[in-house]
A and B are shown apart, each in its own frame.
Chain A
Amino acid sequence: MKVTIDNITVEVEPGTTILQAARKIGPEIAPPAMCYYEPLKASGGKCRACLVKVTAGSEKDPRPMPKLVPSCITQVQDGMVVENTINQQVLDTRKGIVEFLLINHPLDCPICDQAGECHLQDFAFEHGMQQTRYEEERRTFEKTDLGPNIQLHMTRCILCYRCVFTADQITDGRVHGVLNRGDHAEISTYLEKAIDNDFSGNVIDVCPVGALTDKTYRFKNRVWFTKPVDAHCDCDKCKGDVTLWYRGDEVIRVTARKNQWGEVTAFICNKCRFERKKTSDWVIEGPTKVARHSVISANKYGANKIVPEFARRLAASQYKDVKEGRNLEQLSIQQLPEERFKQLVAPAGESAVAGIRSIQNWADDK
């Protein structure tokens, strides 16, 4: 099946949604998603953040769809033409969606632990307006505890239902759901019963905002001062692949690994999340790759350091080999032994070294 999104055509399987097709093209084209979560069945269609314009329904029936459609639950048809970032109506609507989502959101980002990795923050930053027009009183709730390790700030909730689907599908025996309707709807456990399932902690990771937060991490540090590190352990309940968040030598938080779209594919158990908070409990794999535009990379994190291509080329062209009999202690970076030079200039690996070698040959020819 062929589908065209923002003038880019992509071949997809029948049954794919527009959002998945757009994600296949790339993050620039993909509509934002606040409620849709690929690993959770039946999620999506709640927040309206991913509305797109379908300008041609299919090959057979090329009439445009009369209204904007939620791309996360609309399946593609052969020859469908979709406009996402190039349609002004879509962008205007998205602005309105941000306003609606923020109507009851408290905007306490300076306090909230999610700030810096909050999807609503990103969404509002990219698509929203700078000022609010809302003057009425916002709905507020007392914060409640869901079990000993999870805290629910219902005030911040945008009712995406992700945690409910998680509780439904990952944990068996559900004690957590949405009560009441409309403006009064709230996430709750019946009679504030504790969730004692082994995987209940995953509702923290799936929450796009700071409504469900880790009590063991509460106010420990801002996310942009912590250093994420990929690690794994032998766990009999879960796969054990996690991200450890360090402050100095101390693990202050353990979360599941998130992919490019901020989605967790391998859920982790509560023991890994809340109890294993020592480096000795884990096998460290290396620093987590953090996108350069993310605020987390503002912490001068070594893993994100980019050696620009021109700097590498300059270093390679000026590289001089160490000759025998020189005082090795007084060598500068250009005169380092070749192995050391390779480590410095090309931490990326063999391909970069090969690249430098070819540039060196090119420089020698000149």
Chain B
Amino acid sequence: MQLTNRAKKIDKSEMTLAERMYLPAIAGGMAITLKHFFKKKPTINYPEQKRYLGPVFRGHHILKKDEEGRERCTACGLCAVACPAEAISMVAAERKEGEEHKYREEKYAAVYEINMLRCIFCGFCEEACPKQAIYLRHDEFVPVFMNRDEVIYGKDKLVEDMNHRYLREGWK
């Protein structure tokens, strides 16, 4: 009784001499190999070439500045309290007179550190931030480190460079 149409009839007839010497199979295999010579290569040369990771990839952290180049972070500590890995720590300081062009609010983060060994790139800090200050870049990885001293990223590595601003689709 036939239950499905998926059953295949097997050809059990005697093989010819050519077939027994695998000649058609070898020719078929060679043809497939030859076809691949003319196909586009899927491989990329990684460090020189980089693949687009997508708009929601969570990579290197960045502390954004606003349009006038003032730091947005006010050291409110919500990223640190949201962080499940306890990777973020900060020390707040009060903005002095004459520093209005550097910091947007009257309080700013004098020290802002992320321990990249602890960070699990979950993006909770980005979600918690009430000032749109911290983001995880979609276009850049945290590079490999060779030394434990390189693991803790301070403000020197995190704050946005105004000459190479980080922009995302949909922000413009």
- Residues of A near any B CB (own CB < 8 A): 108-111, 115, 218-222, 224-225, 295, 298-299
Contacts and interface: CB of A to CB of B under 8 A. Distances in A.
The 7 closest A-B pairs by CB, nearest first: A110-B76, A222-B77, A219-B92, A111-B107, A110-B74, A110-B130, A219-B107
Contact-residue bracket for chain B: 10 to 19
B52 to A, nearest CB: 34
Interface string B80-107: 1100000000001110000000000111
B145 to A, nearest CB: 27
A111 B76 CA distance: 6
B93 A219 contact: yes
Contacts of B80: 225
B78 A298 contact: no
B131 interface: yes
29 contacts: A109-B76, A109-B130, A110-B74, A110-B76, A110-B78, A110-B105, A110-B107, A110-B131, A111-B76, A111-B106, A111-B107, A115-B76, A218-B94, A219-B75, A219-B92, A219-B94, A219-B107, A220-B92, A221-B92, A222-B76, A222-B77, A222-B81, A224-B77, A224-B81, A225-B77, A225-B81, A295-B81, A298-B81, A299-B81
A42 to B, nearest CB: 35
Nearest to B78: A110
Contacts of A221: 77, 92
B3 to A, nearest CB: 51
Nearest to A219: B92
Task: State the main secondary structure of chain A at its contact with B.
Answer: loop
Contacts of A295: 81
Contacts of A108: 105
B100 to A, nearest CB: 14
B89 to A, nearest CB: 9
A291 B25 CA distance: 75
Contacts of B75: 219
A221 B77 CA distance: 9
A192 B74 CA distance: 29
Most buried by B among A222, A224, A298: A222
A234 B33 CA distance: 90
Given A218-B94, A219-B92, A111 B105 contact: yes
Most buried by B among A108, A110, A298: A110
Contacts of A225: 77, 80-81
Contacts of B77: 221-222, 224-225
Contacts of A298: 81
A233 B64 CA distance: 46
A220 B76 CA distance: 11
Nearest to B73: A110
A57 to B, nearest CB: 46
A225 B75 CA distance: 12
A210 to B, nearest CB: 12
Contacts of B74: 110-111
Nearest to A300: B86
A106 to B, nearest CB: 11
